[in-house]
Amino acid sequence: MRAATELDVDAVGAIYQACTAALLARGIRQWDGRYPVQATAVDAVARGDLFLLVDGEATVGAVTLNDVAAAEYATIAWRTPEPALIIHALVIDPAGQGGGLGRAAMACCEGFARDRGFASVRLDAYPGNPAAIALYERLGYALRGHVHFGWKPAGHEAYAVYEKRL
């Protein structure tokens, strides 16, 4: 995993598009082309919290890591103290999915959190994405509740929130 730069936003934008298309093709409506998009990557690079998942020289995914939680997280009874590392928009290029890259990416995120003294990692996941839910639960993430994102596609606003103590 390495920090992304302005030179990486085109590649990340392409992965966002490919992932959105792959999800929609499987009937998973967690993303609809409004988020994440290339502008999401531009903003994250400007903040310094976009990271690339690389295999050699190839970019195989991306993730935004920071301690900025969605306002909806305030309704959740978390079990670890603040601050927590929040995982946003974790994507693996569809061409590389199913080969353990998601697990490797999560290990990188957890290592990042430990190195910076975070007590836990938190994330939200679309319940209609069974592969993502299964991955997080296999890795020891505990379901802490559900949030409602009103800006998500109609009928697909409910998200599960997870936490893992490090």
Number of domains in the chain: 1
The enclosing domain of 124 has a CATH number of 3.40.630.30
Domain interval for residue 148: 2-165
**pLDDT the model gives residue 107:** 98
**pLDDT the model gives residue 83:** 92
Give Cβ neighbours of residue 21 (< 8 Å, ≥ 6 apart): 94
Q: What is the pLDDT of residues 52-103, one digit of tens each?
A: 999 888 999 999 999 999 999 999 999 999 999 999 999 999 998 988 999 9
- pTM of the predicted model as reported, rounded to 2 decimal places: 0.94
